[in-house]
Structure 1
Amino acid sequence: MDLQSFLLEEDVNNYYSQLDAGSANGDSAENSQTNKWILEKHNMWTKITLNSFYEECAVGTVTRAQLKKWLYDRYRIAQSQASLFESFESIFGKQTNSLGVVLKEDAEWFENKWHQLLHLSEGNLKEYQPSYGAQELIEYSVGVLEKNSTPCNCLLLCWLVNFAFYQGWRMTQRHYHCDQVEILEIARWSCREELMVAIIETQSVLDKILRESASQTLIIELGLYFDGILARLDDMNTVQNVEGKDTPRSAVPSKDIFDGGLQFSPSSSYVHEGAVNSIFYSLALAVMRKEVGNLILDNVPEPSDSLLQVISQFQTSRSSLVCDIVSGGDRTGSILFSTRFGETSNIHCIAGPGACREQQTFFSEPVYDALWQPGGKGFAYLKDTGGSEKFSVFYMDMESGFHYNVSKTKKGRCGSMLWSEDGRHLCYYSTERNGKDWDVYIVDFNTNSEGTLEISQPRIVFQGEGSWSPLDFYRNRLLLRNFISLEESYLYVMDLTNPSFWITVSPDSKSTEDSKEKAAVSFAKFLRVSSRVEDCPIAIVSDSADDFHTLRIHDSSGRPIMSRVETNLHGDIEDLAVAEYCNRNVSMFAFTVNNRGNFELFLGVVRTDNGLELELKPISLQSETVSNNTANKLHYNSLTSLSGKSFREVNASVIRRLRLHATLGLLAFSRYSPTCPGDIYTVQLDTMIVRRWTFGEVGGLDRKRFINPYLFEFESFDGLNIPCWMYLPKSSSKKFPILVHIHGGPEQQSLPVFTPLFQYLLLEKGIAILDPNVRGSSGYGKRYMSLDDQYRRKDAVKDIGSLLDWIDKQPFLDSERIALLGGSYGGFMVLSSVIEYGSRIRAAIDMVGISNFVSYLEKTSAYRRDSRRKEYGDERDPEMRKFLLSISPLTRSHLIQVPLFVAAGQNDPRVPASESEQIQRTRVMDIRKSPIACIGILLFPCS
């Protein structure tokens, strides 16, 4: 009987009889012991083998040895399959609310559907489509679950997910004609995104079923059993063929070793192992996920009461962020600011230094900004819902206490609020039109004859593509910035009364697009030397023809008057404030310079009565904070002499939110330091006296115990010097364990500001903190910021490797006890560093981190997607997509071998929660690495 007859007639028993007699296809008997073994096992696995054999084989001539090799492989899989179901029945049978009965009843249905789906997928492999078979499997399984969400169906999904994974592997192999070792890393993830979506969408079904019927003890017992299953599966990694030679499992699916056109599946041991892991994870998830208050804890142990009590002291520190100076009504001269009482930040008002704070808003959601209406009786503010960052514009009348919805947004995001000089018009940007492009809106405010406030409907005054935001609003003109990326943006003047009037002002205008070097504008303001905007020069902060963002002045038509305002400092200007129009031919402005993490404050005066004259004056801020770093003298000698590098203790100031009012003679700002959470200060312009208005609480802790950092540089792999902040605990005869914190962005900068977690670890746990600004950070020039762009992404990860090398050489640091912490892009850095340098790291914390650049770029909010593509690369380009997948932590998550804690916000518009969930789901699959302890995830529903 030839193979074709065997397939068509299904004469299995007759074939086996001939096989046992040694007469199949006229060949003599070979290995009769194997033939006997096949017959003995026939009743248990014939159905499974035959169905699968039909669906995977192409009709052709196949030798007996090849056939028996294939049948042997199928038998071993079926044997493990049977053991698995027997185990489920025995274990779940111990429970009062047993799942064993359900599993037993569904077993036959399970097997039939499995092979139907196998056939469905195989049918779609005739024409290559990336992940096509996987998608078909998922759609089918989701449909099954919708109709009948039994436990067995949920388990079926776990099997299908892993099987579809290997369909992607096979398709990749067929398409690229690569050997399996070469394509394993790429093909393994060829359909992972769709699979993760399917798991996430159906996980709640399994949670609901198992929550009441499975206990933690059961899960641990089940895990131990599965560990034994996997050990037996390891024995199957090598399959004994009929010639007595060992055939590596990875070689089984290679079509090159078969002559007759028979296409074999990859060894299903891989599939089976993955399925076991998926099933175990699904069961464990039902027990380990808990809701505590507003949080969802997944495999996260509850902290002790004593720990919570200590941490709460540090967490209840309170900072104050300046919003605006009040310039109207009885509160003129007061300051609006944001601070947190209770759970969220709201707007408060303070009348003078040390005065009582008056809370103005009382929302359960935080208020992010507030701008006083010039000459009015209230302020505009921004607020979102659930941490979505879809900010809407509101207005509060402080006399009546009434709140108005100004922007009336339903799906957009608003920002960059600006009042006109007379307070009658409010300008802002919004993505309301399509959720992606930033349009500029204006709303009119009027008071009718009865004294009632009337607010118009928002109207679009500028509609464009991409990110456009107003930087200043004076008389009838707007300064608009077109933001491409932090390395490229353009500045324009728009006249609201003359649509044809449009001036390109920025020195890096699009007329210079031939230049290879792009430039960016960070701030721009009209210098109000006249009541006529046409006579007002423009102060611009840009990095055009410079490595740093510096101040330059142009006339109202865009021509440069002063190419650079010198400060003798090498650093970016971080903020710019301009006073209202007060005196003809005179305008005041203030700005800060970030001098390697220490902010210097300057006050400038421009006079135009005799050409353009500029006077610049630095403002000295005397330190009011005290640290007790003298306790670190034990290590001081090694710090100052190590490798010829100098360390200096820094008591720096970080200044935010400059607000300048010439009529009141007041400059206000928020000042932060390593030992102070952040308070409001003012400078009286006529006397230059600095006053502190607020005195933020620190949870009853002794401020004198707080520790200032040291600033140093370490050399990276390519000779680049990387700046780093180092916080050391009080003196000790032992080496300090280390927490390495990696900031997000990546175009952000770690600054010496009060960080409750740092101070807690320093004072209570004796843990040193290293806070590097790896390449790609802002604050050190645009060249430094560009060193990690796109194809150079892994160079930033290598900076962490160089930091670990530096730690190895320090006599006061314990290189055996290093943990990593990072958020957003910093979370990606943590995951990548753990993968690259896992043997040198003891634990890691990933906060809202990017795990897959492709899925991140596809799912981050539309309004920021293009700017992120400029930084990371465009995933729509095939070559870039391949690169992004290759460096994504999700692609190599199996290499994470340290305890990992993951935190995410379910409403995060920047890094979707799925980025954290998918790294948790894939990592927890390795149940041999203590799954209950290896990873946990904390979800914030309203963030």
Structure 2
Amino acid sequence: MIRYALPVVLFAAALPAHAQSQTSDVPLIERTKIFGNPSKTGGRISPDGKWLSWVAPRDGVLNVWVAPAADPAKARPLTEEKTRPIRSAFWSPDSKQLMYVQDKGGDENFLLYGVDVVSGKQTNFTPFEKTRVRVVATSTRIKDRILVGLNNRDPRWHDVYSLELATGKLTLLFKNDGYAGFLADEMLTLRGTAKSRPDGGSSYYLLKDGKVDEKPLAEVGLDDSQTTAPLTFTADGKTLYWTDSRGRNTSALLAQDVASGKMTVVAQDERADIADALYDTQTGVVQAYNVSYLKQEYVALSPALKGDLEFLKKNIKGQFSIASRTDADDKWLVAVDPVTAPPATWLYERKTRRLTQLYVTRPELEGAPLAQMYPQEIKARDGLTLVSYLTLPKAADADGSGKASKPAPLVLLVHGGPWARDGYGYNGYHQWLANRGYAVLSVNYRGSTGFGKNFISAGDLQWGRKMHDDLIDAVQWAIKSGVTTADKVAIMGGSYGGYATLAGLAFTPTTFACGVDIVGPSNLFTLLQTIPPYWEAGKQQFYKRMGDPTTDDGKALLKERSPLNFAANIQRPLLIGQGANDPRVNVAESDQIVAAMAAKNIPVTYVVFPDEGHGFARPVNNIAFNAVTENFLAKCLDGRSEPIGKALKPSTAQVKHGAEFAPGLKEAME
């Protein structure tokens, strides 16, 4: 399955006395228990059902493990990464190898590796420099090869190759000079492709015998570009499923008869987009779909799955998702999210309706005072509904009602993207901040995905304006609802959330008490100049939704929306974290605003990690930055914190500026 979508840009202080009295009855959860390595995660069952796999620490670094399905206790590690964690893995169709992608230091030049589950032999299938691999297609029928995309010939475009898993042989199937993505059927025959349009939309074409049809199968404009795309073919190749918003607001699940072109609506929901489904493992016919408005839910379309989904809903406490299925579809791995307990993975045997817990992701959090998350519908000033998520500290939610019994300091936690969304479920940042005494609010501001094309388009050309107004409106809602007070609100986020932090402090300089920016762009013009070459296909959509740097009007807009140009307005404390190898938001984005603030003697603390990219993958680095963050927030919001202690020592943190402005940081560096 291939999605045609715009790539995401962006993804020791003493405890004040009054804070102690508010939260002393709630034990402090050590940040290492929240941000350290999970015990196990990313569970998968092999297509033949004989093996289980997951990612777990080996000598302190996440590696791939395998175990016989009949005896999970006999698990053994297959890889031996020493520094950078392997964050996920998937099974080869023949169940002989576990495969994963890995980059170097966060540069996002992902290469594809495989490791034999019996011999342990490891193979680099794409031994190229400055190359980013994409898995184009796998099949339940063709077991000995997969399709991959490689941009080693032209960094902008991915050529499609057939990869023989036993030998590693790559055979070129399609030389790509301008197509954005590809779709293959169960026989691994290329059947579809997409080409970007000058208006930011896409043209979709069928392929026949390796050649692109002259006439497009479908034309999609900018408004539908993020909510319309082909999903997958049925096994017989006669039906093509789409997620499709043409002629409606939210994207529906459609089935297209390939021969006639006729479209049939399979399912739709006026509240939210349908972009994900479960398909029969043999026929490829859709069996159920997933929709997420306030919370995620499965809706059965096939009697074959209806009983299973009803059984799981009745017998599982919390949200669940089907993470992995065998080819015979007799066994599933089910990921369970109770929100107020650590997520777990269960084995579900369909024939006997038997559920067996395989592991808890973070068993050290079992019994910890985790807080509930409450979905909210907040009205923006122009009437738009903002689906948001609120977590209250225990002291402000003693009765578990979700209504604040007294105000608490608030952290506005802004998601990245911006073409992404926040959802309901266990969230380590919400739990950490709530445990420190803060209310936490995450807002799906306009431009967020999942709520229909109109909601996305409402964010066009609104970076730092209406998108930011939504965040301010949510803060005002929190103040009016008694969740917090106007003088105790911080803003924090990564990627676009980092931009929102900088915009908050520069454009609304007295609204927030302080801000924490993680890999956020400060200069939208230079951001668009330095996007990775493999995002060429999405460039026009960026321009149409953000501002076009090739026109005078676009340049003026980008200048006006860049916090860097208003750095002199910043009045409140700012902490910045940045990966030196970030290919999406170049390190210069943070360097620029730190230099501008330093030139004006405006306090800013700047921490750089030389072995990270767009976010912090290594737990020692994430823990180090969060140690600085929680002590920074404690001073700003009068919350509580765990001292920095020795958190920086195992990390690669380099404090480039302003150590004196973050409590305990200078001492921790000694």
TM-score by length of 2: 0.77
Q: Check whether the contact 1:593–1:600 (CA below 8 A) recurs between aligned residues.
A: yes
Q: Distance in 1 between matches of 2:529 and 2:265?
A: 40
Structure 2 match to 1:454: 167
The residue type paired with residue 725 of structure 1 is Y
> Which of residues 485, 488, 493 is equivalent to 1:822?
493
Q: Distance in 1 between matches of 2:56 and 2:229?
A: 26
**Alignment CA distance shift 1:577-1:303 (3 Å):** farther
The aligned runs of 1:243-642 (5 Å cut-off) are: 310-316=30-36, 318=38, 322=42, 324-328=44-48, 332-340=49-57, 344-352=61-69, 355-356=72-73, 357-363=75-81, 364-420=83-139, 421-445=141-165, 453-470=166-183, 472-482=184-194, 484=196, 488-495=201-208, 498-500=209-211, 502=213, 509-510=218-219, 520-522=227-229, 524-528=231-235, 533-534=236-237, 536-557=238-259, 559-560=261-262, 563-566=264-267, 570-581=271-282, 587=284, 589-605=286-302, 618-619=309-310, 621-622=312-313
The aligned runs of 1:711-860 (5 Å cut-off) are: 711-732=375-396, 735-763=407-435, 765-790=436-461, 794-860=465-531
Q: Distance in 1 between matches of 2:196 and 2:308?
A: 34
Deviations 1:496-515 (A, max 9, x none): xx234749786xx13x77x9
Secondary structure at the residue paired with 1:393? strand
**Alignment CA distance shift 1:846-1:355 (3 Å):** same
**Alignment CA distance shift 1:886-1:414 (3 Å):** same
**Alignment CA distance shift 1:684-1:302 (3 Å):** same
Q: Distance in 1 between matches of 2:69 and 2:241?
A: 31
Deviations 1:911-941 (A, max 9, x none): 11111121111112222x5x4xx43334352
Q: Distance in 1 between matches of 2:205 and 2:303?
A: 22
Q: Check whether the contact 1:390–1:414 (CA below 8 A) recurs between aligned residues.
A: yes
Shift of 1:424: 2.4
**Alignment CA distance shift 1:597-1:938 (3 Å):** farther
Q: Distance in 2 between matches of 1:548 and 1:616?
A: 28
Rg larger in 1 or in 2? 1
Q: Distance in 2 between matches of 1:691 and 1:570?
A: 34
Secondary structure at the residue paired with 1:736? coil
Q: Check whether the contact 1:317–1:698 (CA below 8 A) recurs between aligned residues.
A: no
Deviations 1:1-43 (A, max 9, x none): xxxxxxxxxxxxxxxxxxxxxxxxxxxxxxxxxxxxxxxxxxx
Q: Check whether the contact 1:579–1:662 (CA below 8 A) recurs between aligned residues.
A: no
Secondary structure at the residue paired with 2:477? helix
**Alignment CA distance shift 1:734-1:455 (3 Å):** closer
Structure 2 match to 1:936: 606
**Alignment CA distance shift 1:622-1:517 (3 Å):** closer
Shift of 1:794: 1.2
Shift of 1:413: 0.8
Shift of 1:373: 2.6
Deviations 1:365-409 (A, max 9, x none): 333543323335213321111111111112222222111221222
The residue type paired with residue 482 of structure 1 is A
> Which of residues 902, 915, 919 is equivalent to 2:576?
902
The residue type paired with residue 486 of structure 2 is S
Structure 2 match to 1:887: 561
The residue type paired with residue 679 of structure 1 is A
Secondary structure at the residue paired with 1:814? coil
Q: Check whether the contact 1:553–1:564 (CA below 8 A) recurs between aligned residues.
A: yes
Deviations 1:290-336 (A, max 9, x none): xxxxxxxxxxx9999xx9992212223627554653135xxx34333
The residue type paired with residue 817 of structure 1 is K
Shift of 1:844: 0.3
**Alignment CA distance shift 1:322-1:516 (3 Å):** closer
Structure 1 match to 2:335: 670
Deviations 1:713-766 (A, max 9, x none): 222222222222111111357520110101010011111232223212222x21
Q: Distance in 2 between matches of 1:842 and 1:618?
A: 46
Q: Distance in 2 between matches of 1:488 and 1:689?
A: 47
Shift of 1:876: 1.6
- Number of aligned residue pairs: 576
Q: Distance in 2 between matches of 1:712 and 1:540?
A: 30
Q: Check whether the contact 1:574–1:591 (CA below 8 A) recurs between aligned residues.
A: no
Shift of 1:677: 4.2
Deviations 1:227-279 (A, max 9, x none): xxxxxxxxxxxxxxxxxxxxxxxxxxxxxxxxxxxxxxxxxxxxxxxxxxxxx
The residue type paired with residue 814 of structure 1 is T
Superposed CA RMSD in Å reads 3.5
Q: Check whether the contact 2:37–2:57 (CA below 8 A) recurs between aligned residues.
A: no
**Alignment CA distance shift 1:606-1:753 (3 Å):** closer
The residue type paired with residue 897 of structure 1 is Q
Q: Distance in 1 between matches of 2:495 and 2:408?
A: 27
Q: Check whether the contact 1:319–1:678 (CA below 8 A) recurs between aligned residues.
A: no
Q: Check whether the contact 2:296–2:424 (CA below 8 A) recurs between aligned residues.
A: no
TM-score by length of 1: 0.56
Q: Check whether the contact 1:426–1:444 (CA below 8 A) recurs between aligned residues.
A: yes
- Structure with a larger share of its residues in helix: 1
The residue type paired with residue 210 of structure 2 is P
**Alignment CA distance shift 1:797-1:342 (3 Å):** farther
Shift of 1:803: 2.1
Q: Check whether the contact 1:821–1:845 (CA below 8 A) recurs between aligned residues.
A: yes
Q: Check whether the contact 2:142–2:188 (CA below 8 A) recurs between aligned residues.
A: no
Shift of 1:341: 5.4
Q: Distance in 1 between matches of 2:144 and 2:482?
A: 64
**Alignment CA distance shift 1:842-1:793 (3 Å):** closer
Shift of 1:882: 1.3
Secondary structure at the residue paired with 1:432? strand
Q: Distance in 2 between matches of 1:350 and 1:592?
A: 30
The residue type paired with residue 759 of structure 1 is Q
Secondary structure at the residue paired with 1:799? helix
Structure 1 match to 2:639: none
Secondary structure at the residue paired with 1:429? strand
Q: Distance in 2 between matches of 1:678 and 1:415?
A: 29
**Alignment CA distance shift 1:858-1:516 (3 Å):** closer
Percent of aligned positions with the same letter in both sequences?
A: 19
Deviations 1:798-851 (A, max 9, x none): 112222322332334222111110110111111111123221211100000010
Q: Check whether the contact 1:602–1:617 (CA below 8 A) recurs between aligned residues.
A: no
Q: Distance in 1 between matches of 2:522 and 2:212?
A: 46
Q: Distance in 1 between matches of 2:59 and 2:216?
A: 45
Secondary structure at the residue paired with 2:343? strand
Structure 1 match to 2:5: none
**Alignment CA distance shift 1:942-1:519 (3 Å):** closer
Q: Distance in 1 between matches of 2:314 and 2:600?
A: 52
**Alignment CA distance shift 1:518-1:754 (3 Å):** closer
